[in-house]
Copies of this chain bind each other. A is one copy, B any other.
Amino acid sequence: MTFKQSTTEKSTCFIHKLLSNREQKIANRELELLNVAEKIMIHEGFSGFTMDKLVADCNYSKGTVYNHFANKEDLFCALSIEGMRFLISLMQRSLNIQGTLREKCLGLFYSQRLHSQIHPTSFLCVLMAKTPAVLERASKARLEHQIILEQETTALVDKLLSTAITSGDINENRKQHEESLCFALWSMSFGSNALLINAAEAKAVSRLDTNNALLFNINALLDGIGWKPLSSECDYQQSWLRIGNEVFSKEVSALQE
């Protein structure tokens, strides 16, 4: 079987391909394990997840599972990493929307909200990875991987911001605060989504029209930054719907079923 693979791949470097195939196999198994883990969490909640159940539901032994993940929290971190990968793919797609730069920015926020709705458990893992319980115990390698992915999202936002500044949609005297702008967007996105999902019982959330709360928050922030066109000059509710229809039509209609 190993031989078969190496020939079908017509590799010029047999050993390299062999290694790479082995690595591929391990990576696939890891994804398989993460899938099983997520399923357990979906059905039994986070507190219902145990390593024993994971071993019972997959075809590998405890030792093999612990070969992949240093400990339980490391596995949470791995799930968070997969969640971020998915989020980044949504973010990249969202930038394809036809429209102003501010609408593209809306697309980035839309992506995170969509992630939280399509894969709530995955999204919760991303939130949990920012929790001391995970930060204290996950392996160094995994935590670093996560930082790299965060850097990717930061790069996407940075690029959009500097385009907006050079194009004049954001006043150029904001250029010296570009990093602050990026952090403000992240904070608002993180805070809004975390509370909308995990504080749904709180009066300050339950009394809201939760469908528009996020957009309201973004509009307030982007108006405050002075990102043109301001929300008074443009119907961003329309833009929000357009992002759903034009970029994420498949995902949105799947959600509504």
Question: Which residues of A are interface residues toward B (Cβ below 8 A)?
Answer: 45-48, 73, 124, 127-128, 130-133, 135-137, 143, 147, 150-151, 154, 157, 177, 179-184, 186-192, 194-195, 198-199, 201-205, 207-209, 212-213, 216-217, 219-225
Chain B residues closer than 8 Å to A47, beta-carbon distance: 73, 132-133, 136-137
18 example contacts (A-B, Cβ-Cβ < 8 A) are as follows A45-B132, A128-B131, A130-B194, A135-B198, A147-B203, A151-B203, A154-B202, A154-B204, A182-B204, A183-B205, A184-B221, A186-B204, A188-B188, A188-B221, A190-B191, A191-B194, A220-B224, A221-B221
Chain B residues closer than 8 Å to A184, beta-carbon distance: 216-217, 220-221
Inter-chain CA distance A255–B94, complex, in Å, is 44
Determine if A179 and B198 form an interchain contact, defined as CB atoms under 8 angstroms apart: no
- Assembly of this chain: how many copies? 2
| Inter-chain pairs besides A127-B131, A130-B199, A219-B224, 15 sampled, C-beta below 8 Å | A45-B136, A47-B132, A124-B132, A128-B132, A179-B204, A179-B207, A179-B208, A180-B216, A183-B216, A183-B217, A184-B216, A188-B191, A191-B194, A221-B221, A224-B224
